[in-house]
Amino acid sequence: MSSQPLAGRVAVVTGGTGGIGTAICKTLAQAAAAVAIGYNSASEKAEALLGELPGDGHMALRMPVTDSAALKDAIAAVDKRHSRLDLLVNSAGITRFVPHGDLDGLDDALISRILDVNVRGLIASVRAALPLMRRSGGGAIVNISSIAGVTAMGSNIVYCASKAAVDNLTKSLARALAPDIRVVSVSPGLVDTEFVRGLDQSWRDEQAGRTPLRRLAAPEEVARAVLAVGTSLTFMTGAILPVDGGRPLG
């Protein structure tokens, strides 16, 4: 395969300044895509990342996924600069650690916020990007999910439910948008991001110990899965691609 498999292609990454999103932006840029780094409020982080990306044509765009008008404006900016969009990566997501048995700790505001960002935000991002992707001749949408959607083990029960919804949306959208646009979930296990490093060390060690490969995923490994979906796994759609070190086997 060419070392620049995305040359001439344009990618948008929501949640582009997060631990996984940053790795995705860098990997896609290294593959020669022009990358639009979507961010919610971390404008300084986005601008700093912009300066680190190889190649040209990159942009930093405010893309709060709960604001449909802002998403539409961001995609319009991509259209104005590049007149195309080939790959949408829905990496925006939020959570907060709440023990599964602590239903009182899972307050209504947190429930609404998680579902707004992780589920409604994904739909809104796809809706905003779709016209430009179709005018570009199609492409691929990659949703960053989590094995929590399958195992029902994760930072809290609503987060798990939100990722199950993401996987279901992936299947529905794959059916609805075929044949021009492919839709795939990349579903990581626990990823060694700044957020995860802030959690209890003994809990992280326990999670790694329960995984056959005996470690957490690196953000770059998730990013390489996204790149594969966009470039080489071209007959894949409606699929859930695990990057979990075999965690469900543990």
What domains does the chain contain, in order, with CATH numbers? 10-238 (3.40.50.720)
Pair 15, 92: CB distance under 8 Å: yes
> What is residue 247's DSSP assignment?
G
Cα–Cα–Cα angle for 229, 230, 235, rounded to 5 degrees: 60
Q: What pLDDT sits at residue 193?
A: 86
Pair 232, 135: CB distance under 8 Å: no
What residues are labeled active site?
Answer: 159
Gap between the Cα atoms of 249 and 223, Å rounded: 23
pLDDT (tens digit per residue) in 37-46: 999 999 999 9
Q: Which one has a higher pLDDT value, 132 or 196? A: 132
Classified as helix, coil or strand, 64 is coil
- Looking at the DSSP bridge assignments, the partners of residue 90 are 14, 143
Pair 16, 22: CB distance under 8 Å: yes
**Nearby residues of 51 by Cβ (< 8 Å), 6 or more positions away:** none
Q: What pLDDT sits at residue 128?
A: 98
pLDDT (tens digit per residue) in 202-211: 878 888 888 9
**CA distances (Å), 197 to each of 141, 148, 249, in order?**
28, 18, 23
Classified as helix, coil or strand, 242 is strand
* Model-wide pTM > 0.85: yes
At residue 198 the predicted structure's pLDDT band, cuts being 50, 70 and 90, is confident
Pair 10, 31: CB distance under 8 Å: no
Q: Per-residue pLDDT averaged across 133-159, rounded?
A: 96
Gap between the Cα atoms of 105 and 212, Å rounded: 32
pLDDT (tens digit per residue) in 10-38: 999 999 999 999 999 999 999 999 999 99
**Nearby residues of 123 by Cβ (< 8 Å), 6 or more positions away:** 169
pLDDT tops 80 at residue 2: no
Q: Per-residue pLDDT averaged across 60-74, rounded?
A: 98
pLDDT (tens digit per residue) in 159-197: 999 999 999 999 999 999 999 999 999 999 989 888 788
Per the structure block, which two tokens stand in for 8? 């001439």
pLDDT tops 70 at residue 1: no
Gap between the Cα atoms of 43 and 41, Å rounded: 6
Q: How much of the chain exceeds pLDDT 70, in percent?
A: 100
Among 58, 53, 63, which residue's Cα sits nearest to residue 81?
58
User: How many other β-carbons are positioned within 10 Å of the β-carbon of residue 243?
Assistant: 21
pLDDT tops 80 at residue 199: no
Gap between the Cα atoms of 128 and 71, Å rounded: 6
Q: Per-residue pLDDT averaged across 199-224, rounded?
A: 89
> What is residue 237's DSSP assignment?
-
Classified as helix, coil or strand, 248 is helix
DSSP3 helix / strand / coil % (the chain, rounded to 5) = 50, 15, 35
Q: What pLDDT sits at residue 250?
A: 73
At residue 200 the predicted structure's pLDDT band, cuts being 50, 70 and 90, is confident
Q: How much of the chain exceeds pLDDT 90, in percent?
A: 88
Q: What pLDDT sits at residue 182?
A: 98
pLDDT (tens digit per residue) in 84-112: 999 999 999 999 999 999 999 999 999 99
